[in-house]
Amino acid sequence: MTPPTQRLLAGLVGAAIVVAIGYFGWQRVYAGPRDERLAKIAGYEQGIKAAQQDLARLLDVREDLQRIVDRTLGADQETVDHHLRTRLNRISEEIGLQGVIVTTSRSAGRGTPARSQFRSRGAERAARDEIDFVELEGRASGTGTLEQALALAYRIDAEPWLKQIDQVRLEPKDNGASVQVTVRLRTLYLPGEAPAAATEGPVDLSRFGPYATLARANPFRLAPPPAPPPVVVSAPSEPAAPTPAPRFPYGQWLISGVVESPAGCEVFVNHRKSGDSRVLRVGDRIGEVVLAGTDGDRAEFTSDDERFLVLVGASLDDRIPLRK
């Protein structure tokens, strides 16, 4: 190798060493810390984005929670107790019940179902031990007609504030002329969370019609026993020719109510003159017709030669024919 070639080669090697030292120095002094900071910035941006998403979800949850709070009667037991008593008394008086008694009693608070998700110490302990809501029990009772008794349960259920009716008890007196009614219910409130305004609103009474029809029929009223026929002693006579059996008096039997119960559909029928009442279920017979089912406020019957509907308030003679 000639001296010029050797000098060229040595120069190239030296230049490569200088470039390598410069690259590693640049990587260590500038590029490495820069990439590190860019990665941290990306992590911060991702954290900010996640926090913004959590905040948006939190706002949605707060709005949903406030809608629930706005249907409560207050934020503490004293306030809720006062409003519950006031409203139960007002409803009972508007209906016209006599001897009204309204009582309340507090039940235990309900803890958070997320208790297993929080630690029992540190900043999460408060969330772990927090009570989600408190239930307050109430009871309203009084005496009135069957329609007034049913109206009490209906009006309480139709009120816009949160409640759950646990029991409706009816005790008829004087052969159904009056009824002692007791309604047991529960409402709830979130401690410290006050509704934006008093929970008021129009009460929808349009669906009380079937209950009013049932009340007018009054299944608690028993018909008086028929008087025994007079005993007539007569001389023996020739046996008369057999007469055809009289037609069942369908026109005297009225449909007074059609309801759905846990046992299935039920149809209440009342005799126009005697006041006698019966409750028919699917398969039960009255006269020569059999109850086949219900359709809204109509009862469906079948016989050997026809199939028909009868509206609530109509007699079994007021038939709407159906194809059999």
What's the pLDDT at 131?
80
Separation between Cα atoms, residue 248 and residue 104, nearest integer Å: 53
Beta-carbon count within 10 A of 130 CB? 14
Per-residue pLDDT, averaged over 246-267, amounts to: 84
Does 162 fall in a domain? yes
> H helices of the chain, where?
3-26, 32-69, 77-95, 125-129, 146-158, 209-217
CATH number of the structural domain spanning residue 273: 2.30.30
Does 4 fall in a domain? no
Does 183 fall in a domain? yes
Per-residue pLDDT, averaged over 240-259, amounts to: 80
Do 84 and 180 share a structural domain? yes
Q: Is a pLDDT exceeding 70 seen at residue 239? A: no
Does 227 fall in a domain? no
Does 85 fall in a domain? yes
What's the pLDDT at 2?
67
Helix, strand, or coil here: 265?
A: strand
β-partners of residue 104 are 138
Per-residue pLDDT, averaged over 300-318, amounts to: 89
The whole domain housing 180 covers 77-204
